[in-house]
Amino acid sequence: MQPNERLRHHRLQRGWTQENEAEELAALAPTLGEKHLPVTGRMVGKWERGEATPKGVYRRGLCLLFGATAEELGLYQPPEKGIEDMQRRAFLQGLGVLTGFAVASSFTYEPWERLSAALAQPRRLDDTAMSDLEAVTASLESQYATVAPVTLTGAVQGHLATVTQLLDGHPPARLQTRLYSQAGEVAGLAGWLSADMSQHDRALIYFDNGIKAAQEANDQALGAYLLGSVTTLPAFREHSPQATIHVLREETRGFRARDATPTTRAWLDSLDAEASAMLGDANGALNALERSQAAIEATEDAGRVRPIVSFFDHARLAGEQGLCYVRLRRFDDAKAAFQTGLARLDASSKIRARLLTGLATVHVRQGEIEQASRTVGEALRIATRTRTALSLQQVYDVRRQLERWRDSRPVRELDEQLRLAG
């Protein structure tokens, strides 16, 4: 028996107990085409200790749950037809953009279709109830910036179930459009939470469903926001900046960036800048940052226009400027931008970790090893508190940059922090 350390690492990275993992896996039963998926914390323990090997639907479910391949999870059996078939290969080539996310759609499920069979009675919807529903959505979105994804996910999924139940209950025609927009907006939030936990395939399913709901509602602003959300997934952001540029600048699935709300346009321009910087297009990146700056200055009334992209403001723009400057090797400008963004960000904000790891990268490039180790250590504390897998990955990325100084006191202290964080 050989313990499966990879599988255990993916669980611990999300801050889950073995029982938590079992509950999350069981919840995926409908997505995997099963009515019920019996799984317990004891089973998870056996998989991690090497006493048993997950096979069939359990193996596919684990790949979907963690957004990883079987090999990345330490499951070495020959690949089965299933979740591996929709790995990121098509998106790495940007094909998903041109085919309307066809690869993801092959695994897409409609939440209202899945839930409708379990609903005993349709609910009556009126204007007051609709307003209450929108208020709940706004409340959940406001918590995204500070609450750990694993903590908020249950509430968001429950709210999505309520919205889908109301859709299935044949709401009044005058409210149907608003309800579809709510479905798309909540699905988008569920996608962001999944992405924060590195469940990228699952996030793509949520975003894709959200886009379909936006199409039903003919909600151009929501559709533009959700398309931007898709481009933040690794298949685009890390591997295919050309595909990102295509989505942001061309009409895709009936939506265009120029139809977005002012705050969303500012955010989309920052994504354009990042993709341009990755392609080495300095002029394109700087021009996009200027457009983002101009858009963010024109958002005084943005709080009354949905979807409210509350996470993007002057502080976040400064952070995105810093990340672009790093890619363009303008390290002094990057450092100033990160420091400006951090000074403006609330201390409880999860996004501080992203800016801190960016600043730590600048310190590494400038040979400031003690400052880099201290800064990434601060990012690690935030990532551990919020249990955000993406932030933890960014911490590990900076640590790899520090490998040549692994015997220095600052890096040894950072390694001890990482060890204690699990």
Phi-psi region of 345 (alpha: psi -120 to 50; beta: other; left: phi over 0): beta
Tell me, what DSSP letter sits at residue 408?
A: S
Q: Which residue has the tokens 């997934």?
A: 233
On whether the CB atoms of residues 240 and 93 are closer than 8 A, the answer is yes
Q: What is the DSSP string of 65-104?
A: HHT--TTTTT--SPPPSSGGGGSTHHHHTTHHHHTTSHHH
Tell me, what DSSP letter sits at residue 419?
A: H
Q: Is the dihedral of CA 278, 284, 285, 286 positive or negative?
A: positive
- Which pLDDT score, from 0 to 100, does residue 151 have? 82
What stretch of H or E contains 392?
helix 389-401
Q: Report residue 93 as tokens.
A: 């080539």
Per-position pLDDT tens, the chain of length 422: 688 988 998 888 878 899 989 988 888 877 677 778 899 999 999 999 989 989 888 988 888 788 677 777 888 554 333 333 333 333 333 323 332 333 333 333 334 333 333 233 344 567 777 888 888 888 888 888 888 888 888 888 888 888 887 887 777 778 889 999 999 999 999 999 999 888 888 899 999 999 999 999 999 999 999 999 999 998 888 888 888 899 888 888 889 888 888 888 999 999 999 999 999 999 999 999 999 988 888 765 444 556 667 678 888 899 999 999 999 999 999 999 999 999 988 877 888 999 999 999 999 999 999 999 999 999 999 988 887 888 888 999 999 999 999 999 999 999 998 888 77
- Which pLDDT score, from 0 to 100, does residue 126 have? 74
- Which pLDDT score, from 0 to 100, does residue 182 have? 92
Q: Which residue has the tokens 């310190």?
A: 363
On whether the CB atoms of residues 63 and 40 are closer than 8 A, the answer is no
- Which pLDDT score, from 0 to 100, does residue 84 have? 35
- Which pLDDT score, from 0 to 100, does residue 135 have? 84
Q: How far apart are CA 3 and CA 46, in angstroms?
A: 9
Helix (H, G, I), strand (E, B) or coil at 155: helix
Q: Report residue 120 as tokens.
A: 């005993």
Q: Report residue 12 as tokens.
A: 């611990």
Half-sphere exposure of 212 (CA within 13 A, CB side): 17
Tell me, what DSSP letter sits at residue 252?
A: B
- Which pLDDT score, from 0 to 100, does residue 299 have? 62
Q: Which residue has the tokens 């200055």?
A: 297
Radius of gyration of the chain (CA): 22
